[in-house]
Amino acid sequence: MNSAIRILALSAVSSLLLAGAALADPQTKVALVPGGPHPYFSAWEQAGKDAVKDFGIGAADYRVPQKWELSQQSQLLESLLSQGYNSFLIFPGDAVGTTPVVQEIVENGGQALALAGCLKDPNPALFCMGTDVANSAYLGTKELIKAMGGKGSIAHFTGFLVDPNTQLRIDAVQKAADETNGAVKVIQVIADIDAPQPAEEKINAYLAAHAAEVDGIVTTAWVPAVTAANALRKIGDKRIKMVGIDHDEVVLKAIKDGYVNGTMLQNPYGQGYVGSYVLDKLRSGCTIKDSAPWAKNALTAKFVDSGTVFVDASQVDTYVDAMRGITKTLKENFDKDFLACK
Amino acid sequence: MSAALEVSHASKSFPGVKALDDVSLTLMPGSIHALLGENGAGKSTLIKIITGLHRPDQGEVTLNGQPVRFANPRQAVSAGIGAVHQERNLVSRFSIGENIMLERLGAHALSVIDYGKLHEEAAKWLRLLDLYIDPRRPVSSLSVAQMQLVEIGKALALQTRVLLLDEPTASLTPNETQVLFGILRRLRDDGVAIVFVSHKLEEVFGLCDTVTVLRDGRNACAAMPLKELARTDVVKMMIGREERIAKRAPRPRATTAPYLQLKNVGTAAGHRDISLSIRPGEIIGLYGLVGAGRSELAKAILGQVRRTAGEMLVNGKPVAIASPADALHRHGIGYVSEDRKQEGLILLHTVLGNAGITVWRSLANALGFLRDRSVIDRTAPVLQQLEVKTPSVYQTIGNLSGGNQQKVSVAKWIAAGVKLLIIDEPTVGIDIKTKAYLHDLIHELAERGTAILLITSDMPEMVDVADHILVMSGFTIKGEVENDRNYERVSQAIMSFIHSSAAA
Amino acid sequence: MSIETSTPAVPEAAGGTSQFQKILFSNEFGLVVLIALAFTAFASALPGFSAPFSLFAIGRQIGIDTMIGLAMMAVIVTGGLDLSVGAIGVSAAMVFGWLCERLGLPLSVSIPGAILFGALLGAINGYAVVRSGVHSFIITLASMSIFFGVMIFLTKAEAFRGLPPEVAALGRLKLGGKVSALLAISVAVCVALSVFYRYTTLGRRVLAAGANPRAAEVSGVRTGWMFIACHALTGALAALAGLMVTARTGAAVPSMAGQLGQDWLLPAFLAPVLGGTLLSGGRVAVFGTLLGAAFVNVITAGLLQLRIGEFWIQACLGLMLLAAVLADRGRHVILRRRGLV
Amino acid sequence: MNGDKLTRAFDNDWIGPALVSLVAIVVISIFQPSFLSPFNILVLLSAIAVNMLIALGQLVIIAVGQMNLALGSIGGLVAISFAAMMEIWQLPPLLAMCGGLAIGVAAGMASGYVIARTGISAFIITLAGLQIFKGINLGITEAQPFYGVPQSVKDFGNLAMAGPIPWLVLPMIVAGVGMWAIFNRLRIGRYILAIGGNRNAAELSGVNLDTTVIWAHALSGLLAAGAGMMLVARLQIGHPAIGEDWLISSFAAPVIGGAILSGGHVSVGGTFFGVVIIAIITQALVLFAIDPFVVQIVLGAMILWAVGINRLRELRVARAKA
């Protein structure tokens, strides 16, 4: 019986030595990893496929953690690193909590950049590319105030408190309201509702009680935007103005039907497409220019704005062209200002 | 006509003990048959065979002449054998009617229940038992006596021809008992065969036609008509005559100060005015039948039953013992439990784990660390002295024979060096050789100065071992008997105390 | 044996064959074989599986799952259970964050502080179970939502992100180039626990109280206090697990154990039951829990890397728990047939 | 029939929770008049309707003296299957609903069968069931929701039948009356309660323990499936996370409604008002902008309070009889 155990142990050790060299794979293999399952990131999957087709990258796979939970994302990233992926586009599950696993990726010969959400400095990611959420929320609130005629009270529905962008958005909306020095007040912020069931319960409960006191709604997260659009359709009097976010067809249809004034589009497709392109370039000889014109935001000093645009009833049918336009300019900026290639 | 129920030459044994050895019982329809026997006489095993919980290893059970073999109690019930046990078999939140008719609520799972018809039918059975209560009332609102009658009603509703009652009068008032007896007599006249299990001899003589007595797993007598027997004959059969008259000389009453004294103690369990004292080196016997309150008294001494009156002194100083741990570690009082499997031992653990449980705390070093070595050094000599036969100290105790298990459950207290050891029914289900051995051991312990309180209902054991005997019945002490080892005299004296109290 | 008397001494060690046989059929050996088989299978199928980083990551997850398993094992010993293990772990981690960040206390104070806090919550569970006589399922179901709710209410669901750098460093620390420090901590705690259950009086009394509370009580063991001690130990180990997860992510995040801490329920039962801890109480398998956690994580890592298994992992773990429980029932039936239980 | 039948039908367990919910409604509407606005009543009743089925799903298992941890994951599995059948296989809603109920019953029967045959505690088996059904859910959806919910289903989930009364109230009434009938009028319900009340007595009276336990778990699966599909209608999306937060409230409502956790005594009326109380408290916390997680604390505290009261009541009954 003892001999059997010895054989088993030997085979385990031998396979260990053999496999050591697998990691140094010449081809670029990109992994696009969101914080958890969410409609916003579904555009990344297509972006990865297009990037592989257009730029001949080894692979650009969209892999989703099972739950919106930090250790699930870390465990997936560790597994992807072991599977041979060497380039990562990561939406950080937590502005600080994701740093250690990015550190490990870099230490093991991989490269990573934060996408659609930033890591708090100092962090080992190359840089952060995403919507300038603060600016987008600020512009959106400005549009809402315009639609409200410059006065009244606003309710702000936003995403998970765990999501690094949420706090930025809350501050931006407050800033836009304060600039009306009192004419417009933010009377209610409901956060942590970026999932159908909590959104449904909280938004409906709030509107059921406070619809009379609210003149405008600004939503800075995908699911609350959808739920609020449905709620306004149910109330039906179009008195309450609303600026949504992202391009869910429920929101777009509500804009067409006049229940919602407009939506702040982000550019998830562009983020995934250009992000894969940049990482592939960096692995084939290019480097990031020292003189790169980094923007700054509350979390990091190396930030690239992937663009945002307000779409109202007039442009609602042509928003896809607007997004494609932003993506093209984004890629050109990278070639021109950010990348130095031999 | 053939017997309603007959158990012929049944034998049944469990790991380590032979519970029934060639036992027979015949029950004629339209008769009340008493089943008597002391603890460990095999009575409960026979009841379990009749009600289908166990199957005999040898011998067979016949119902109205045909042999039957019940896989589970349910089959016995549907074959017409009803039973009213100590623990109530009623669903307390259901109504009386529903309990009685639980068998026939509906043809299939989704059938709608017609409560009107159900309660009418149930009322018919209640009227049969002179129980004029609304069948809609929930059983939880009934008294114990009424619940018992509902259970009998339930049995009748199932066309039961054989009805077994296990200690039915244990918690009934005298007139409730008479009401029950009146009903049983009427059922008997309707041809129902009744098995009446009780310890109260005067009830047996007042009610039953025939009697079967069991002792040590064998028939002391089988289905003898009661008319031909006097009460003392039955008692003699129950407690039997041990050929081996005690060889130990009676011991003079020790004169040292008593280790434990109880002064007119009353407890929440119902004890009234209990007074006794136990001196180091003395064996005080506490004799009584089941339900006399002896184990409850032991639990009161250990602090598991609340003491409501009187005083308890250890070494002359009044004490309030809160728990067995308190009793052991502060006062050196140990208790060998009557229920070896549930309270005596931890079957899952090793011999060492069981033998050492009482000494762990005292053997541990300052940090609470403890090596097997020090436990073995303390317990091995005791195990060896008691000749515990086990492959090793690490053997799981569940694998040992009943006798060896009991030795270990005594060994743990000896290893702890207790000053007072309460022993409750030490030799129930133990082979004769080990039984004698345990008796010698108890004497040896007393010689070495340990105070012993021996609780038993085995008369020969009491006469053979105890120095001074207190007779207990109905949670009070009825009298004291000096033990001069004269079996005839001492057993008669004890019996007279027991019966005097019952008649009063 | 010092006393030379006629009767044969009671032998101490069991005979030669049965000792080895005992090991062979023991649960732990079965797990070692399973782990070896699974590892070689995945290593050959997946090139990256046995790479140093992959082993390090798996090792670290084993360390965390083992600690969660040990926490549940400490209360399974009493025949009860503790649904609030996750809630206690998260609450202790948040207290740790509060002590470090808000009060600026050194790690040498905040770490034991968090562990003591966990033990306190556990003791509260134990006291409620013992005093009320209600089954530990209901008490810990209620305490799960109370502990988690109070924690989230006090912290406003805000994570503590400004922890001292040593915390995240510990999470990434590799001892001897390969073994994760968290795994090393768990192994050390396993050693300590097996010493506790085997070589201390408290440990033995806990086992006795768990195996047969009535018999233990009559033999002078204060079973009430033993159960409270077990629940407190569960709380302390849960707190330690919470700190390990915090070390791994470098931040004390309220959602680390999922909603109400329910994500910890599966690993908490899977490791000890696979390892051989009897659900009915009275028997622990400390290293069995470690091996159980190892087996679970080798399978999980393998399936995760196999791409096809990604989303089917949870179903697979559920089936494993069911299989482990059926095996536990089988073991129980054998024990009863031999009259042991 | 005479008065007795009346009192037995309306056992007194529901009076307490009914009064508490009445007082709560009055107090809240004083501070927040819009609490009684039609739209708010619609939202409140929708929440109560769904949670009632969840509570009944747990109630039928408490009645048999067990517990069902897999209630939520069965509900979730049925929810995504229901949406998938409509989106992928283009099944008409009614057919998909029957499919969903069948899946729920099958899942319930599976765990009931394993519990009954192996005799292992329901806690562990349903904990394993929780993981398995959730795993299958994730395996099918890969954590992506199904969006293809037809408009008719969406309308059923959100529109009002009459005034502030949502359509969702219909399945609640059917389930409530159905379970009341089962517990008080059908043999299977009485057998379930008999096993919970006195397992030994039930066995001796010819109650087939295994089939009855399987029946109880099948009913629990059916109710969980109903609740899952109602949520798909209300949220207008087949979301894999449906059911994840059912555990606590599925115990709190029955216990507040006077159910005895050791089994044998349940009250459908009491459970209904338990659900009402929880829904009112959840909404009140949002209205007064109190941290939503306070609900968890309140639910936990209410479970302990209700269990404590039931325990005192049991001790008093026991002491009265001793």
Q: Measured in whole angstroms, how far is the alpha carbon of residue B10 from the centre of its chain? A: 22
- Whether residue A190 is contained in a domain is answered as yes
What is the C-alpha to C-alpha distance for residues D283 and D278, in angstroms, rounded to an integer?
9
Nearest to C221 among B343, B357, B393 (CB): B357
Q: How close, in Å, is residue B140 to chain D by CA atoms?
A: 8
- DSSP category for residue B311: E
What is the C-alpha to C-alpha distance for residues D159 and D162, in angstroms, rounded to an integer?
9
Same domain, A252 and A290: no
D268: left (phi over 0), alpha (psi -120 to 50) or beta: alpha
Contact residues on chain C for B370, CB-CB shorter than 8 A: 199-201, 204
Each as own residue / partner, the long-range contacts of residues B141-145 (CB below 8 Å, 24 or more positions apart, any chain) are B142/B96, B144/B171, B144/B172, B144/D321, B145/B172, B145/B173, B145/B176, B145/B179, B145/B180
Interface residue of D304, D310, D314, D315 to substitute, partner C, most C CBs within 10 Å: D304
The closest alpha carbon to A43, from A129, A93, A116, belongs to A116
Question: What percent of chain A clears pLDDT 70, i.e. is strictly above it?
Answer: 92
pLDDT band of residue D213 (cuts 50, 70, 90) is very high
What is the C-alpha to C-alpha distance for residues B65 and B456, in angstroms, rounded to an integer?
40
Asked if B364 lies within 8 A of C7 by C-beta distance, the reply is no
Contact residues on chain B for C10, CB-CB shorter than 8 A: 380, 383-384, 388, 390, 392-393
Asked if A197 lies within 8 A of D34 by C-beta distance, the reply is no
What is the C-alpha to C-alpha distance for residues B230 and B239, in angstroms, rounded to an integer?
15
The closest alpha carbon to B315, from B345, B287, B348, B278, belongs to B278
Same domain, A93 and A149: no
Q: What is the CATH number of the domain that holds A287?
A: 3.40.50.2300
Same domain, A40 and A123: yes
How many domains would you assign to chain A?
A: 2
Q: Which residue of D has its CA nearest to A41?
A: D144
Which pLDDT tens digit goes with each residue over C283-317?
889 999 999 999 999 998 888 888 776 788 889 88
What is the C-alpha to C-alpha distance for residues C205 and C219, in angstroms, rounded to an integer?
10
Contact residues on chain B for C282, CB-CB shorter than 8 A: 346, 348-349
pLDDT tens for each residue of chain B, 504 residues long = 678 889 889 998 876 677 888 999 889 898 999 998 876 678 888 888 888 888 888 998 998 888 988 888 888 888 888 888 877 789 988 999 999 988 888 888 888 888 899 999 999 888 888 888 889 998 888 888 888 888 888 888 888 889 999 888 877 778 888 888 988 898 889 888 999 988 777 788 888 989 988 887 888 888 888 888 887 778 777 766 554 555 666 666 667 888 999 999 999 888 999 999 999 988 999 988 767 888 899 999 999 888 899 999 998 899 999 999 999 989 999 999 888 878 889 988 999 999 999 988 888 888 888 888 888 999 999 888 888 888 888 888 888 888 888 889 999 999 998 999 999 988 876 777 788 888 888 988 888 889 999 998 778 888 888 888 999 888 889 889 888 888 888 888 887 887 664 433
Cβ(B355)–Cβ(B379) below 8 Å:
yes
Token pair, residue B240, equals 């039997």
What is the C-alpha to C-alpha distance for residues B276 and B262, in angstroms, rounded to an integer?
5
pLDDT of residue A16: 42
Asked if D300 lies within 8 A of C279 by C-beta distance, the reply is no
Token pair, residue D26, equals 């009055």
- DSSP category for residue B425: S
* Neighbouring subunits of B (3+ Cβ pairs under 8 A): C, D
> Which positions ≥6 away from B269 have C-beta within 8 Å?
B293, B296, B299, B300, B305, B475
pLDDT of residue B266: 92
Cβ(A145)–Cβ(A97) below 8 Å:
no
Contact residues on chain A for D157, CB-CB shorter than 8 A: none
pLDDT of residue B205: 86
- Whether residue A227 is contained in a domain is answered as yes
Same domain, A144 and A190: yes
Name beta bridge partners: A263. Answer: A244, A311
Same domain, A127 and A276: yes
Interface residue of B72, B93, B120, B141 to substitute, partner D, most D CBs within 10 Å: B93
Q: Is C47 helix (H, G, I), strand (E, B) or coil?
A: helix
The answer, for D195 touching chain B at a CB cutoff of 8 Å, is no
Q: How close, in Å, is residue D166 to chain A by CA atoms?
A: 13
**B193-197 vs B162-166, strand pairing mode:** parallel
- Whether residue A320 is contained in a domain is answered as no
Asked if D206 lies within 8 A of B103 by C-beta distance, the reply is yes
> Which positions ≥6 away from D3 have C-beta within 8 Å?
none
CATH class of B257-332+418-431+450-504: alpha beta
pLDDT band of residue A18 (cuts 50, 70, 90) is very low
Which pLDDT tens digit goes with each residue over C82-120?
999 999 999 999 999 999 988 888 999 999 999 999 999
What residue numbers bound the domain in which A225 lies? 133-265
Same domain, A48 and A145: no
ipTM of the complex: 0.84
Bond into A122 cis (ω within 30) = yes
Block residue for tokens 């073994």: C179
Amino acid letter, B485: R
Contact residues on chain C for D296, CB-CB shorter than 8 A: 145-146, 148-149, 152, 260
Token pair, residue A34, equals 């969101």
Instruction: Write down the domain spans for chain C.
Output: 49-331
pLDDT of residue D320: 60
Q: What is the pTM of this model?
A: 0.86
- Whether residue A150 is contained in a domain is answered as yes
Nearest to D317 among B98, B134, B140 (CB): B140
Would you list which residues of chain C are within 8 Å, Cβ to Cβ, of chain B? 1, 3, 5, 7-15, 199-202, 204-205, 207-208, 211-212, 214-222, 282-283, 335, 338-341
Which pLDDT tens digit goes with each residue over D230-256?
999 998 889 888 898 899 889 999 988
Residue B363: how many other CB atoms lie within 10 Å:
16
- Whether residue A318 is contained in a domain is answered as no
Nearest to D39 among A42, A192, A208 (CB): A208
| Whole-number Cα distances in Å, B255 to B249, B251, B259, B411, C63 | 18, 12, 11, 28, 66
Cβ(D225)–Cβ(D103) below 8 Å:
yes
Q: How close, in Å, is residue D39 to chain A by CA atoms?
A: 5
pLDDT band of residue C327 (cuts 50, 70, 90) is confident
In this structure, chain A runs to a length of: 342
Quote the crossing angle between the two packed helices D209-235 and D187-197, to the nearest 10°.
110
What is the C-alpha to C-alpha distance for residues C75 and C80, in angstroms, rounded to an integer?
6
The answer, for D198 touching chain A at a CB cutoff of 8 Å, is no
Interface residue of A200, A210, A223, A247 to substitute, partner D, most D CBs within 10 Å: A200
What is the DSSP secondary-structure string of C75-138? HHTTT---TTHHHHHHHHHHHHHIIIIIS---HHHHHHHHHHHHHHHHHHHHHHHHHH---HHH
Buried-exposed string D23-61: b where 16+ CB fall within 10 A, e elsewhere: ebbeebeeebebbebebbbbbbbbbbbbbbbbbbbbbbb
3-state SS of chain D is CCHHHHHHHCCHHHHHHHHHHHHHHHHHHHHCHHHHCHHHHHHHHHHHHHHHHHHHHHHHHHHCCCCCCCHHHHHHHHHHHHHHHHHCCCCCHHHHHHHHHHHHHHHHHHHHHHHHHHCCCHHHHHHHHHHHHHHHHHHHHCCCCECCCCHHHHHHHHCEEECCEECCHHHHHHHHHHHHHHHHHEHHHHHHHHHHHCHHHHHHCCCCHHHHHHHHHHHHHHHHHHHHHHHHHHHCCECCCCCCCCHHHHHHHHHHCCCCCCCCCCCHHHHHHHHHHHHHHHHHHHHCCCCCCHHHHHHHHHHHHHHHHHHHHHHHHHHHHC
Nearest to B94 among D4, D185, D197 (CB): D197
pLDDT of residue B217: 82
Q: Which residue of A has its CA nearest to C56?
A: A78
Cβ(C164)–Cβ(C105) below 8 Å:
no
pLDDT of residue D99: 96
Asked if B77 lies within 8 A of D317 by C-beta distance, the reply is no
- DSSP category for residue B342: I
Which pLDDT tens digit goes with each residue over C179-190?
889 999 999 999
What is the C-alpha to C-alpha distance for residues D115 and A226, in angstroms, rounded to an integer?
43
The upper half-sphere exposure of residue B194, i.e. CA atoms within 13 Å in the direction of its Cβ, equals 31
The answer, for D242 touching chain A at a CB cutoff of 8 Å, is yes
Token pair, residue A124, equals 């080992």
The closest alpha carbon to B204, from B222, B171, B230, belongs to B230
Q: Is B482 helix (H, G, I), strand (E, B) or coil?
A: strand
Token pair, residue C341, equals 């239980």
For CA atoms A139, A144, A146, A150, the dihedral sign is: negative
Region(s) of chain B under CATH 3.40.50.300: 5-239, 257-332+418-431+450-504
Residues 91 through 120 of chain B touching chain D, CB cutoff 8 Å: 91-95, 98-99, 102-103, 105-106, 108-113, 115-116
Average pLDDT over residues C20-34: 73
Q: Which residue of C has its CA nearest to D293?
A: C149
Cβ(D311)–Cβ(C134) below 8 Å:
yes
Which pLDDT tens digit goes with each residue over D261-274?
888 889 999 999 99
Block residue for tokens 């233990």: C216
In the predicted structure, residue D2 carries a pLDDT above the cut 50:
no
The answer, for B230 touching chain D at a CB cutoff of 8 Å, is no
Residues 149 through 178 of chain A touching chain C, CB cutoff 8 Å: 161-162
- Whether residue A277 is contained in a domain is answered as yes
Which pLDDT tens digit goes with each residue over D133-178?
999 998 898 878 888 899 999 999 888 888 889 999 999 999 999 9
The answer, for A13 touching chain C at a CB cutoff of 8 Å, is no
Same domain, A230 and A149: yes
Asked if A120 lies within 8 A of C40 by C-beta distance, the reply is no
- Whether residue A220 is contained in a domain is answered as yes
The upper half-sphere exposure of residue B260, i.e. CA atoms within 13 Å in the direction of its Cβ, equals 29
Asked if B343 lies within 8 A of C214 by C-beta distance, the reply is yes
Asked if A66 lies within 8 A of D143 by C-beta distance, the reply is yes
Cβ pairs bridging A and D (under 8 Å):
68
Amino acid letter, A292: A
Low-confidence winner among C123-127, C283-287, D100-104, D317-321 (lowest mean pLDDT):
D317-321
| Whole-number Cα distances in Å, D20 to A219, B219, D289 | 36, 65, 22
Report, in angstroms and rounded to the nearest whole number, the Rg of chain D calculated over CA atoms.
Answer: 20
What is the C-alpha to C-alpha distance for residues B410 and D29, in angstroms, rounded to an integer?
70
- Whether residue A34 is contained in a domain is answered as yes
Contact residues on chain B for C12, CB-CB shorter than 8 A: 376, 380, 392-394
pLDDT of residue A114: 93
- Run of H or E including B260: strand B260-267
Same domain, A153 and A51: no
Cβ(B296)–Cβ(B271) below 8 Å:
yes
pLDDT band of residue D84 (cuts 50, 70, 90) is very high
Angle at B57 between CA B55 and CA B60, to 5 degrees: 65
In the predicted structure, residue A251 carries a pLDDT above the cut 70:
yes
Nearest to B106 among D187, D200, D203 (CB): D187
pLDDT of residue C99: 92
CATH number of C49-331: 1.10.3470
Which pLDDT tens digit goes with each residue over C227-258?
999 999 999 999 999 999 999 888 888 888 88
Q: Do chains C and D touch (3 or more CB pairs under 8 A)?
A: yes
- DSSP category for residue A39: G
pLDDT of residue A15: 42
- Which homologous superfamily does the CATH classification assign to the domain defined by B5-239? P-loop containing nucleotide triphosphate hydrolases (3.40.50.300)
The answer, for C249 touching chain A at a CB cutoff of 8 Å, is yes
Residue that wins the pLDDT comparison between C333 and B390: B390
Token pair, residue C274, equals 């696979």
Q: How close, in Å, is residue D37 to chain A by CA atoms?
A: 7
What is the C-alpha to C-alpha distance for residues D166 and D170, in angstroms, rounded to an integer?
8
The answer, for B376 touching chain C at a CB cutoff of 8 Å, is yes
Which pLDDT tens digit goes with each residue over D275-316?
999 999 888 877 777 766 788 888 889 888 888 887 777 777
pLDDT of residue D177: 96
1.10.3470, 3.30.70, 1.10.10, 3.90.320: CATH of D11-321: 1.10.3470
Asked if A208 lies within 8 A of D142 by C-beta distance, the reply is no
Token pair, residue D156, equals 């059923």
Q: Do chains A and B touch (3 or more CB pairs under 8 A)?
A: no
- DSSP category for residue C11: P
In the predicted structure, residue A25 carries a pLDDT above the cut 80:
no
- Run of H or E including A129: strand A128-130
Average pLDDT over residues A295-316: 87
What is the C-alpha to C-alpha distance for residues B162 and B150, in angstroms, rounded to an integer?
17
